[in-house]
Chain A
Amino acid sequence: DAKTTQPPSMDCAEGRAANLPCNHSTISGNEYVYWYRQIHSQGPQYIIHGLKNNETNEMASLIITEDRKSSTLILPHATLRDTAVYYCIVRVEVVGTYKYIFGTGTRLKVLA
């Protein structure tokens, strides 16, 4: 299974962009990168996903390198409510569905 590595923690000033890196050097060609976040005592919540191209939605942007061995999640204007653990995930195909391989996550603290 492909795996991901992330820094254990990061701080970001409120209002600034938060850039969260992820390495997935063993990712296969058809495996997607997903990002979820987990706010204390809640289940993880979907943020964004991508395969090759950069992606943007109302929450974040995802930048994937051309060789697909790493990616960066960007929260353009971090708020205090963005304080959470952010998981970079590789999605692998299994029988009838997909399986998520979670990384250890980055604990992002947004500072006032």
Chain B
Amino acid sequence: GAGVSQSPSNKVTEKGKDVELRCDPISGHTALYWYRQSLGQGLEFLIYFQGNSAPDKSGLPSDRFSAERTGGSVSTLTIQRTQQEDSAVYLCASSLGVLSGVSSYNEQFFGPGTRLTVL
């Protein structure tokens, strides 16, 4: 079946503009995650959703960042008033949530990412 998809694949914007990044998770995956990867760096966790709920938003870098998920499926990461330091690859992943008890297996499937460049 289809994997995690993200759009756009590349986005170039001017400083101060708002951008929206989209993630389509694997069908049936209740958990969705957003990460940021700056050039040559590891993955920085931003936020996760269980269903439509985001229990922990503390990973978002500033109040210019927000995310939502509707219908338990598609998620949008919005960056307002973009700055040059926001330039990075934004990765989305999805997984089966924990239905009950502790699961020893919880693979996150990653999308190809959106490369954001703020000029």
Interface residues of A (CB under 8 A from B): 30, 32, 41-46, 49, 51, 87, 91, 93-105
> Which chain B residues (8-67) contact chain A, with CB distance < 8 Å?
30-31, 33, 35, 41-45, 48, 50-51, 53, 55-56
Chain A residue at minimal CB-CB distance from B32? A97
Interface SS of chain B: loop
- Cβ A43 vs Cβ B91 within 8 A: yes
21 pairs, A vs B, C-beta closer than 8 Å: A32-B104, A43-B4, A43-B111, A46-B107, A49-B104, A91-B106, A94-B48, A95-B56, A96-B30, A96-B97, A97-B30, A97-B48, A97-B95, A97-B98, A98-B95, A98-B98, A102-B35, A102-B42, A102-B43, A102-B44, A104-B41
Give the CA-CA distance A100 to B98 in the complex, in Å. Answer: 14
B21 → chain A, closest Cβ, in Å?
14
Does B72 make an interface contact (CB < 8 A)?
A: no
B30 → chain A, closest Cβ, in Å?
8
A97-B30, A100-B45 are known; give 17 further A-B pairs, CB within 8 A: A43-B111, A43-B112, A45-B110, A46-B107, A49-B105, A87-B43, A95-B50, A95-B55, A96-B30, A97-B31, A97-B97, A98-B31, A98-B95, A98-B98, A99-B45, A100-B33, A102-B42
Interface residues on B, range: 20 to 34
> Which chain B residues (66-119) contact chain A, with CB distance < 8 Å?
91, 93, 95, 97-98, 102, 104-113
Interface SS of chain A: strand
